[in-house]
Amino acid sequence: MIYNNENAALLATGLPLEEIASLLRERLSGEALQDKLNSMGNKYLKRYLIIKEYKDLVISGKQKLPIIIVLTGMPGVGKTSLSREIATMLGVGPVLGGDAIRSACRGLLPRKRNKPFFTSVYQSWQFFGKYTEKNAIRGYRAQAKILNDTMQRIIVDRGLRDGESMIIEFLHFIPDQFSQEVFNHPSFIPFVLKINDADIYTQRLQARERYTHLRSSGDRLIQQQGKYLLLQSYQCSCAEKAGIPIIVMDDFEKGFEDMLNHLFPRIKKLNQLLDYSNNLSIIQRLTKEREDV
């Protein structure tokens, strides 16, 4: 491997690249490297050891549980940026974006039977009457059902059945639209991202055009900020009921650290479990479907 070699586990520490480069120049290994990491902060050593153990277990053939991370939240909260950081840290891929999946689905689904799906999320209320909070949520859930069914199929087939690690970022994740078998699987690790400060949210929507959506002006989204904040509140209430971590992203670096503090204990649990029953009805149905073709 060119980049995903034995040194790659240092990326999982969350240390700045300059400090990782300094460690590599010192050519430390084994206990000396671990002592150095511990002196920089015990959390860095713990992260290094957890991901190193996971990768060693994968290489040895003992680890059969993939890492499947789902990042959800409204446009501008940092899903795309955070997914890139996590993918680099852990060496996990592919990264699947909800906007791309939704675009593909629109080319396959009949428009007449799925009208809310063929509009922007902030306009989906119009198929349920006049604009109210209730209808805004109904429109969002109508769109979400199609995306969640699609994402769940990808997770079950490529992730749980085939054992592929992945990161999925999309704005439509709603826990009650996922199978409990998937939701309770140890490999399935969801996070809801949110921004509390309205001014910061405006700035993030403007910044999208410079960093992640180069040909999509943030002005259109800023005009719909109130609707996004309503849906964010609904999404967070669903997350609270389901026990999903809610990561506040007003400060990107603090949010990133908070997410890592939730993520690494989950990976540590995978290291302990190594495997999990593949005798799930949702996997059996998909396997039978493939066999019937």
Q: What is the 3-state secondary structure (H, E, C) of 33-79?
A: HHHHHHHHCHHHHHHHHHHHHHHHHHHHCCCCCCCEEEEECCCCCCH
> How much of the chain is in helix, strand and coil states, percent to nearest 5?
65, 10, 30
pLDDT digit of tens for each residue in the chain (293 aa)?
566 777 899 999 999 999 999 999 999 888 999 999 999 999 999 999 999 999 999 999 999 999 999 999 999 999 999 999 999 999 998 999 999 999 999 999 999 899 999 999 999 999 999 999 999 999 999 999 999 999 999 999 999 999 999 999 999 999 999 999 999 999 999 999 999 999 999 998 888 777 666 666 677 788 889 999 999 999 999 999 999 999 999 999 999 999 999 999 999 999 999 998 777 898 888 888 877 75
Distance of CA 48 to the CA centre of its chain: 21
* C-alpha distance from residue 290 to each of 153, 161, 285 (Å): 12, 12, 9
Amino acid at 271: N
Fold of 66-292: Rossmann fold (3.40.50)
Burial 202-217 (b: 16+ CB within 10 A, else e): bebbeebeeeebeeee
